[in-house]
Each structure stands twice: as structure tokens, then as C-alpha cells.
Structure 1
Amino acid sequence: MINTEVKNYIIDSSQSTKNAILVIGGAEDKVHGKQILQTFFNRSGGTDAIIGVVPCASREPNLIGERYHRLFGEMGAKEIKVLDVRDRDGADDLVYLNFVENCTGIFLTGGDQLRLCSLLAGTSLMNQIIAKAQQRKISLAGTSAGAAVMGHHMISGGSSAESPNRALVDMSTGLSIIPEVLVDQHFYNRNRLARLLSAIALHPSLLGIGIDEDTCAMFENDDTMQVIGKGTVTIVDAREMTHTNLEKVQGNEPLSLHNLRLHILEHGDRYDLYQHTPLTR
């Protein structure tokens, strides 16, 4: 829980070395300002950063692992290792486990969130990463599929451009890095609001978070979330929902959801995860 006294929520550069969990909507800028990647690099220690890249979600782990290795190397990281786990036994590799014990940042790449979970969920490597991230001993970032796995419940697939309905979303179990949230990514770019609403109808106690491309929801250790990047983060809060027809409908029949709270946050905006309120600058 956080102290509820009034705080200054203007972005503060003095926070740049503090560990955080960065949930990225995908397609983050890798060419120009690299704002989100640079923030992760800074939060991981800057030129003292020891970064592990986990490309397991991708079907081309060599290619994507090398891409992020090069990007963080160009930024000046002290040490970078690609943790290229190809099967669950590989997650017990002592070289990887010892590296994570001493690293300052872990980056989960995009790809297929089901593939990532099937390879790493419940393994020694992922348990170690999650524990260190939750204790804020490292900074952890996940983009696209790496963002989708953050909650205990995970959107694993589905459709878009329809009214909210049961058949619109496929659910699975994520990695429980931030168990209280339900994340969707590439959000407005792929018209996924109805998909997130359909998922939240199934799990109304969770906080729905839809993240646009080249946009990041950064979770701080004071129970606030900060938005970084060129798009928006959509918050769906169903804690005070007064009615749903979820139990009466089937398949693609439309869902009815009353009294939802919706917030749209842009770069620099913060959200108080304890008070469930946006914080203006």
C-alpha cells in the first residue's frame, strides 16, 4: 500500500535508476529516439546494466535475440546475454541461472505468448526472474507477447471489430508477474477494445490494461503506473460493475456490461493502482 498523502506526479529524472516493470504494447521504436528501450536501459542501471534478453516467445529467437543484444549494446550496457531457452530443460541451465542472479534487467521479447508460457512457466529460470522483478531487485520489460504474459490470467488470442462477446477472446494462464492486471497489446492499432472488454467480463476483479504500439505502462514500486511513448494506455475498471448478462449469453451473442470505468492515459500520465484513480500532471 502507498501513502495517500499528496505527491508530485510530474516525471522526475531522479527516478531513472529505480527498478520498475515495463509493459510495452509492441512495435516500440528501435530506430529514432528509442524512448521506451532507453527508459528500460536507464532503469536497469545505464552503463552499469547487465541485461538478459529472453527471446523464447519468438520462432526466430536467434534473430530477435541478436536485434535486442545489438540495441542495448549500442546504448552502452556493461554486459548482455541472450537467454535462448529452446525447451523446458534449458531453463535449468546453471549459466543462465547464475547470470540472472547477478543481472540488473530482463527483457522479454515479442512472439507468441502461449509459446513463452509453455517454455518457461514454472521453471527455475522464470521463477527466479519473477521473484527478482516483484522484489524490484531488477527491472523487467516485456513487449507484445512479453506484455501479454504479465497477469495471472492472459489473453492468448481472439478477434476484433465486433461487439464484446464470449467467443471474441481466448484466455489462458500467464506468468503472474503482476497478477492483478489483464493486459492486451497492439491495442488501438488492432482495434482490441471489445476483446479486452470481453476478457474483463470474465474476470471483473482484474484491472484491464490496453496498451498501444510504441507505448509502455511502467509499474513503479509505489503502486503507481506511468505511461511512456507515443500512444495511449486504456484502463478498464469493472470493480463497480452493476450488471452483466454473461451467464445468460453464449458464443458470439453480445455482452451487456453496466457501470464500467474507462480511463485513457497518454505519455506522462500516471495511475494510482491503490486508489484506482488517474493522476494528472
Structure 2
Amino acid sequence: MINTEVKHQTRESATLTKNAILVIGGAEDKVHGKEILQTFFNRSKSSDAIIGIVPCASREPSLIGERYHRIFSDMGAKEIKVLDVRDRSGANDSAYLDFVENCTGIFLTGGDQLRLCGLLADTILMNRIIERAQKREMSLAGTSAGAAVMGHHMISGGSSAESPNRALVDMAIGLGIIPEVLVDQHFYNRNRLARLLSAVSGHPELLGIGIDEDTCAMFESDGIMEVIGKGTVTIVNARNMTYSNAKEAKGNEPLSMHNLKLHILGYGDRYDLEQNQPYG
């Protein structure tokens, strides 16, 4: 007879090592406990990890690529490669393409999300990364700009500390890794609720997700998102919104949005993406 405690531990161990998509609000701890980066490392098969670092969003890709290379090397990764694409033709590099076929984890660094998409959107390299991540054949993480690109629609810039209005947010097309979400990062730290609301007003079918610094929204293959890190994840659900003046409002005229659902999720809280329901 199998001990039920052992069975539970086995299931828990499998959960801790299965592939996931980690969306990080930026400024994740790189020095002390490194919980978020350690979780990505574990989900990328730990000591058997073959990790690709994509620093294309940064204006100093060599510097930031080396920093993450050192972090994952210190954790004990089996193999690490910095995929330092400087122009779109670089995304056809056969060495990079071969590496992506075998890697267990890809990490998208911070920087400028428009730069990242400009270099890699619709390239053979990025399309293969997205395909493998969506099939959960490997883990994928993105921090700051690397988080912003996760949805099909992307917040590319804007302001804060104003009432929600259409002029507050700049939109662009993201990478579509998790198409149904609209991500904003450095969320509480830069007072970006009004910006996210402004973005969601134009795309009420999408789930707005605001992620604080050193905080991660981790998307599992079963449609569950879990929060890890020191901050919170804010969920804005406008799918049952009963009224909005978004189509009529111009420029910086204030937006009206009725019957939104707003959830604040802390460490360990989860959100069911199919049922649109949070739980602890």
C-alpha cells in the first residue's frame, strides 16, 4: 500500500519542476535569496538546465547578458548561452537555432520592449521559442520589458499619476506568448494602475495584469497563475464591463468604466484563467 504522504510529496515535487512561463515585474532580487530566478532555474531542470539568455531589449546586451550568465552559472546550470542578436538577420544564426531546440529555459531580460520586438518579432528564432514555451517543452521567463511583450497587445510606454485616459498609454503589438493578457510591470512602484486601466479600456477582452517589482506571475500549463516574490499582482477584468466611454473619449479626457473586477494577489495566491477566479 502506497503511503499517501509520499504520494503527495511526489506530486508536489513534480509541480516544482514542471515547465512554466514566468512573467516578472522587473528589479527581481539578484543578490540575496533570488527566489524568482531560482524558481526559473528549478523549472528549467535545475542542474540539468540548458538556459538561453536573450538580452536584446537592453542597450548594453553584453553587460546584462553576462550578469544573468553569472547568476545561472553560480546556481549550477549545465549549459548557458547568451543569444546576443544585434539585428534581425542575427535571428537566423544556426548556432542559436540549434541551441533553442535543446534548451530547457529561455530568459528575456529587461530594457526596451519596442527594441526587443523590433529585433525578434516574427523571426524564426523567436517563433520557435514561443512555440516550445506554449507547448511547455521548456520554461520561459521575461522581466520588465521581457514581461511587457508577453501579450499580443503590449503597453509600449506612457505616463502615470493621472486619471485614466487614452493619452496616458502607448500601445503596440507584443510577441503573443500569452495572447489573452495585457501586462504592465514595475506596477505599484511606478503608480501604473491608471495606465493599465487606460490600456484595458481599449481591449476589454484581455485580462490586465500589473506586476510589482521583485514579483512574478507564474503561468502553469493547467491554466493557473501563481504569485511569487515580495510584492503583489493586480488583476483587472473588464470582460463583463457594462459601460465605457472609451470610444468617445479623446486625448486626455477622463475615461469611465463601469463594473470592473479588480483583484490584488499576494504571495502564494492563485488565479484560474479559465474561470476568471482568484483563490488562496
Q: Shared fold by TM > 0.5?
A: yes
Mapping of residues 112-191 of structure 1, within 5 Å: 112-191=112-191
Amino acid of the structure 1 residue aligned with 2:264: I
The 2-side partners of 1:232 and 1:147 are apart by 15
SS across alignment from 1:263: strand
Gaps of 5+ in 2: 1-7
SS across alignment from 1:16: helix
Alignment correspondent of 1:3: none
The 2-side partners of 1:34 and 1:65 are apart by 17
Alignment correspondent of 1:231: 231
Cα deviation, residue 279, structure 1: 1.4
Relative to total residues, which structure has the larger helix share, 1 or 2?
2
Alignment correspondent of 2:258: 258
SS across alignment from 2:221: coil
Mapping of residues 1-281 of structure 1, within 5 Å: 12-280=12-280
Deviations along 1:250-279, one digit per CA (max 9) or x if unpaired, are: 000100000000000001000000000001
Structure 1 runs of 4+ off > 2 angstroms? 11-14
Cα deviation, residue 117, structure 1: 0.1
Deviations along 1:112-133, one digit per CA (max 9) or x if unpaired, are: 0000000000000000000000
Deviations along 1:130-161, one digit per CA (max 9) or x if unpaired, are: 00000000000000000000000000000000
The 2-side partners of 1:105 and 1:265 are apart by 26
Cα deviation, residue 54, structure 1: 0.1
SS across alignment from 2:42: helix
C-alpha spacing 1:32/1:13, structure 2 compared with 1 (3 Å) = farther
Amino acid of the structure 2 residue aligned with 1:234: T
Cα deviation, residue 12, structure 1: 3.9
Deviations along 1:145-186, one digit per CA (max 9) or x if unpaired, are: 000000000000000000000000000000000000000000
The 1-side partners of 2:14 and 2:147 are apart by 26
Deviations along 1:70-117, one digit per CA (max 9) or x if unpaired, are: 000000000000000000000000000000000000000000000000
Alignment correspondent of 2:3: none
SS across alignment from 1:89: helix
Cα deviation, residue 13, structure 1: 4.4
Matched positions, count: 271
Alignment correspondent of 2:4: none
Deviations along 1:225-270, one digit per CA (max 9) or x if unpaired, are: 0000000000000011000111221000100000000000001000
Identity of aligned residues (%): 79
The 1-side partners of 2:260 and 2:114 are apart by 29
The 1-side partners of 2:139 and 2:175 are apart by 16
The 1-side partners of 2:53 and 2:248 are apart by 45
With normalisation by structure 1, the TM-score equals: 0.95
With normalisation by structure 2, the TM-score equals: 0.96
